Amino acid sequence: MERAIGVSQKDIEVFMLREFSVYRPRQVARFVKTLFKGQFSISGVGQFRFDNGKVLLPDTKNPQQLSVFREVNQAILSLPI
């Protein structure tokens, strides 16, 4: 097994990446809540990261991305436990 010098196993993070071709807030919310940590992209909107079951605030001033951020986090809160 090859190993990078100076990199331990705990330093390597595995992210789940999914591309949604159509934006459906509840579908994205279920994905985020189930996997808890990772990233996803929505065609025509952009890429997002999530952690602790919540979408993280995108580093942008794009109103469409900010709207998706708010809508998906609201949908997560409305999902049953």
Q: Whole-model pTM?
A: 0.79
pLDDT reported for residue 16: 67
Report the share of the chain in percent with pLDDT over 90: 77
CATH topology of domain 14-78: so0334 like fold (3.30.1910)
**Domain map (residue ranges) of the chain:** 14-78
Q: What is the DSSP letter of 9?
A: G
Rounded mean pLDDT, 15-21: 85
Rounded CA separation 66/43 (Å): 15
Residue-wise pLDDT for 27-76, tens only, equals 999 999 999 999 999 999 999 999 999 999 999 999 999 999 999 999 99
Beta strands in the chain (DSSP E): 16-20, 38-42, 46-51, 54-55
pLDDT at res. 2: 45
